[in-house]
Structure 1
Amino acid sequence: MNLQHENAPSAGKSDRFSSSGFILAAIGSSVGLGNMWKFPYITGEHGGAAFFLLFIICLVLIGLPVLLAELAIGRASRASAATSYTKVGGPKVFKGFGLLQVIAPFIILSFYIIVAGWTLHYTVLSFSGQLYSNSDFGGQFGSFIGGYMPIVWQAVAILITALVVVKGVSGGIEKFNKVLIPGLVILLIVLMFRAVSLPGAGEGVSFFLKPDFSKLSAEAALVALGHAFFSLSLGMGILLTYGAYVDKRQSLGSAAVAIGAGDLIYAFIAGLIIFPTTASFGIAPDAGPRLVFIALPAAFSSMPFGAFFGGLFFLLLSFAALTSTVSLLEVPISYVMERWRLGRGKAVLIVSVLIFLVGLPSVLSFGMVPGLTNMGGKGFFDWADFIASNILLPIGGLATTIFVGYYWKNAADAAGLSSRWLKVWIFTMRYIAPVLVLLVLLHTSGLITF
């Protein structure tokens, strides 16, 4: 088998998703760690159900149109994210924007794979009961991330990801998501019922679902818009790349709706897990790793069968993390195969090793190397996150909206929408989405605050 010609993007993307496999893979890219530890917190901070409603509006009005645009560009180009814009007739300047959408997931994966390793480690610790042998959960977490073991788990996570991606789109990514996404759904449902049945859980449910419109503000609107944008994996080349593997008979409009619904349901159930649990045990639902790796283990240690339910929770996080890492890795793999005409096996090996090496400064920035811990107020890990998530991703999304709204002559044919919806989509991409995505960029980069 000639891998170079069978799997290279420029060879016509002969390795394709099935219809259901594509939707599951795209949902898998959006189902990540952020919705588990960030979404519940920002929802509670900005008005509970009122913010959730605002998030839905942003997802429908802006998220889905941009998602559809990325899928349409990818399918029309049958190319990597880096060349997809120019392959469908865009100006050369858009090749630079496309390349940014290869660089961004590469950087994201370099630090995201570290956190994926943490979730795998904590899954083993919880199921074995070792996690609960010492009640100093903050000390345990600090000792772990400040040592060398995270490098081992970083390697494990990138190895699992590489073993999936090396098998190709239909034989690797699709099959992987067809197993993990149903498994993730089962874990979500089990943990949700466990959470809402805890003593005092009703207070957490009320905090999550009771609307407080007084907390809605311009800041809340931008936070909702930003989360809708990022939770759908927009601006990071994933959907451009996945679109190139989609069959021409697949309805992109229906797929976009299904992907958005999957992301929304996951975020909703995540809230029904986090808020009841934190309310039951008197834990502040703070954002970030501290909630997941310190506060929640303390809660699991106090509930019946806590080691088991804690293990299920971290297994859920592992599934969510790995479906995202697989999607992230495919973006630079697609580019490397196209650019240097490499077979998939060689491309996966080279890119995986590079990601591991580039991620070492991030994994060592939690205390092992003091110089990496505080670099202008942020650690190396935090700087990598800030640059990729807050700058590169919005720029990528902005490029997509401008390209579709003003440059792409064949957008109508590629999207496959009815005339009524097509007019709405083009209007959104031309006049609404660019302005709002630019506001997200200015907000996440810190140039405007409220």
Structure 2
Amino acid sequence: MSSSKNTERFTSKGFIMAAIGSSVGLGSMWKFPYVTGLYGGAAFFLLFILCLLLVGLPVLLAELTVGRGGRGSASSSLTKLSGSKGWGAVGFLTVIGSFLVMSFYGVVAGWTLHYALLSFTGNLFSKDDFAGVFAQFIGGWTPIGWQLVVMLITAFVLIRGVSAGIEKFNKLIVPGLVILLVLLAIQALSLDGASKGVSFFLKPDFSKLTAESALVALGQAFFSMSLGMGTMVTYGAYVEKNQSLGTATVAVGVGNVLYALLAGLIIFPTIFVFGIAPTEGAGLVFVALPAAFSAMPFGALFGGLFFVLLAFAAITSAVSVLEVSVAFVRDQFKWSRFKSVIVVSTICFFAGVPLSISLGGKVDWLMIGGKSLFDWVDFVCSNIILPIGGLLITIFVAYRWEGAAKESGLSSGWLKVWIFMLKFVSPVLVLLVLLYYAGIIKL
């Protein structure tokens, strides 16, 4: 796929489905409920929506615009539009970021498939020590097999191309995701005592809003939209000229908010009913919630459905993340899609193996400064590479690329708002995200 010969295209509906599939991932399910509870429930949720408007949507539209204007990978699109290899290097940074993200994301996505099977068979609930079971699992070799399954599914979708692969897959999976979210939310809300969890989630406590909560909300708005790692630039390259990028951007934002809302309505009633603390990260999903499912009627069924939901969300994101590297390789080496997918997915799989092994803490050279290689790659990608990528693309569209206004297709009023946001608001806020999550700003 050279940028001049990129003829693969999404249909209008298919693109929106794919973009929503890319943006809804594991973070909204295990981190969003935790930080929402920590920073004032609905007060934080409203702050999150405000941050989406200030950062998420403007930067998302900027990335889509670059992709459709350049009609290539993240790197070649920026090179073409700027006439500078320096800006192409910015695109390459996002490619590196997405590749590294996929190397550990594939590992975690594999965990969800394993736990879905464990739950449906009832084996997940044969022991009460859920923390021990999880620690033993991620410290062994089994996750590598599940990581391979995730990579094979992702590669299969990408080999089929944009329309027959990515689009059809998301058209099938995203509605399934919605059905599972609604079913699980209904089930959680029907639990005896669920109202306490709902009240904790939806009752605003503005006294808990602080400068730190604002930075956390900014980060959640940025990361939940798949920004800074070239996914939306790459998807933008496959968008038809008659597709309204503004409408698509709003649709993705709304989808993101609804996903976060339903996630909260699943998590909070469940943990409140069973007296579980809303711990952050893997501990919530793979330790705390299985304990809750084990105590509820038909827990094996609902636990299995929950992990299938997570697997759906993970793999739709994985498809978009791996496509960034595939598009780059096709641009650079003029390879076929089949060869590009096979080579990239194979390298990415083997890159993920040491990350998975490092979680057991058994291999000394995979531990650096007391942290696993997995945690280091996660930290560098999420907290440094992605915000830098998003920041630089925002600056490029705001100050360097004169054709951005025309390519965006916005009406004059919305265009003025968008350009103002990109020039004076979004870059400052993304910079704050970078400084906070990199540990430079401490509150």
Instruction: Please indicate the TM-score interval, normalised by the length of the shorter structure.
Output: over 0.9
- The normalised TM-score by structure 2 is 0.99
Mapping for residues 373-412 of structure 1, pairs under 5 Å: 374-412=367-405
Comparing 49-58 with 372-381, greater Cα deviation is found at: 372-381
Instruction: Output the CA distance in 2 between the equivalents of 1:305 and 1:253.
Output: 43
SS in 2 for 1:10: coil
Q: CA deviation at 1:13?
A: 2.0
Partner of 1:313: 306
Partner of 1:296: 289
Mapping for residues 79-98 of structure 1, pairs under 5 Å: 79-89=72-82, 91-98=84-91
Q: CA deviation at 1:443?
A: 0.4
Partner of 1:280: 273
Q: CA deviation at 1:91?
A: 3.5
Q: 2:71 aligns with which of 59, 66, 78?
A: 78
| 1:204 and 2:197 matched | yes
Comparing 396-405 with 83-92, greater Cα deviation is found at: 83-92
Does structure 1 retain, via aligned residues, the 8 Å contact 2:361–2:372? no
| 1:188 and 2:188 matched | no
Equivalent AA in structure 2 for residue 355 of structure 1: C
Does structure 1 retain, via aligned residues, the 8 Å contact 2:354–2:366? no
Q: CA deviation at 1:27?
A: 0.4
| 1:65 and 2:68 matched | no
Equivalent AA in structure 1 for residue 318 of structure 2: T
Q: CA deviation at 1:10?
A: 2.3
SS in 2 for 1:88: helix
Deviations 1:152-205 (A, max 9, x none): 111111011101111000010000001100000000000001111112211111
Equivalent AA in structure 2 for residue 99 of structure 1: F
Partner of 1:370: 363
Partner of 1:125: 118
Partner of 1:252: 245
Partner of 2:23: 30
Q: CA deviation at 1:374?
A: 3.2
Instruction: Output the CA distance in 2 between the equivalents of 1:432 and 1:417.
Output: 19
Partner of 1:270: 263
Equivalent AA in structure 2 for residue 200 of structure 1: G
Instruction: Output the CA distance in 1 between the equivalents of 2:251 and 2:90.
Output: 27
Instruction: Output the CA distance in 2 between the equivalents of 1:9 and 1:391.
Output: 29
Q: 1:15 aligns with which of 8, 14, 22?
A: 8
Equivalent AA in structure 2 for residue 437 of structure 1: V
Instruction: Output the CA distance in 2 between the equivalents of 1:405 and 1:340.
Output: 31
Deviations 1:377-400 (A, max 9, x none): 311000000011100000001111
Instruction: Output the CA distance in 2 between the equivalents of 1:411 and 1:254.
Output: 16
Partner of 2:337: 344
Partner of 2:432: 439
Does structure 1 retain, via aligned residues, the 8 Å contact 2:76–2:331? no
Instruction: Output the CA distance in 2 between the equivalents of 1:158 and 1:372.
Output: 26
Equivalent AA in structure 2 for residue 333 of structure 1: V
Instruction: Output the CA distance in 2 between the equivalents of 1:220 and 1:210.
Output: 16
| 1:104 and 2:101 matched | no
Q: CA deviation at 1:217?
A: 1.1
| 1:39 and 2:48 matched | no
Comparing 81-90 with 201-210, greater Cα deviation is found at: 81-90
Does structure 1 retain, via aligned residues, the 8 Å contact 2:106–2:147? yes
| TM-aligned CA distance change 1:90 to 1:211, over 3 Å | farther
Does structure 2 retain, via aligned residues, the 8 Å contact 1:166–1:348? yes
Instruction: Output the CA distance in 1 between the equivalents of 2:419 and 2:98.
Output: 27
SS in 1 for 2:358: coil
Equivalent AA in structure 2 for residue 237 of structure 1: G
Deviations 1:280-299 (A, max 9, x none): 00000011101111111111
Equivalent AA in structure 2 for residue 168 of structure 1: G
Partner of 1:169: 162
Does structure 2 retain, via aligned residues, the 8 Å contact 1:90–1:403? no
Comparing 71-80 with 364-373, greater Cα deviation is found at: 364-373
Partner of 1:4: none
Partner of 1:224: 217
Does structure 1 retain, via aligned residues, the 8 Å contact 2:188–2:270? yes
Deviations 1:299-346 (A, max 9, x none): 111111000000000000000000010010100000000100000111
Q: CA deviation at 1:69?
A: 0.6
| 1:159 and 2:152 matched | yes
Equivalent AA in structure 2 for residue 206 of structure 1: S
Equivalent AA in structure 2 for residue 339 of structure 1: Q
Instruction: Output the CA distance in 2 between the equivalents of 1:41 and 1:294.
Output: 14
Instruction: Output the CA distance in 1 between the equivalents of 2:297 and 2:425.
Output: 51
Q: 2:407 aligns with which of 401, 406, 414?
A: 414
Deviations 1:253-288 (A, max 9, x none): 000000100011000100000000000000000111
Equivalent AA in structure 2 for residue 394 of structure 1: P
Deviations 1:343-395 (A, max 9, x none): 01111111011001111111001226331553113110000000111000000
Percent of residue pairs identical: 62
Structure 2: runs of 5+ lacking an equivalent: none
Does structure 1 retain, via aligned residues, the 8 Å contact 2:3–2:70? no
Would you identify which runs of 4 or more consecutive aligned residues in structure 1 move more than 6 Å? none
Q: 2:45 aligns with which of 41, 45, 52?
A: 52
Instruction: Output the CA distance in 1 between the equivalents of 2:160 and 2:54.
Output: 36
Comparing 78-87 with 253-262, greater Cα deviation is found at: 78-87
Does structure 2 retain, via aligned residues, the 8 Å contact 1:333–1:348? yes
Does structure 2 retain, via aligned residues, the 8 Å contact 1:363–1:381? yes
Deviations 1:396-446 (A, max 9, x none): 011111111111111110111111111111111111111111111000100
Deviations 1:55-95 (A, max 9, x none): 00110122101111100110010010012112113543211
Query: How many matched pairs?
Result: 443
SS in 1 for 2:3: helix
| TM-aligned CA distance change 1:189 to 1:372, over 3 Å | farther
Instruction: Output the CA distance in 2 between the equivalents of 1:82 and 1:171.
Output: 25
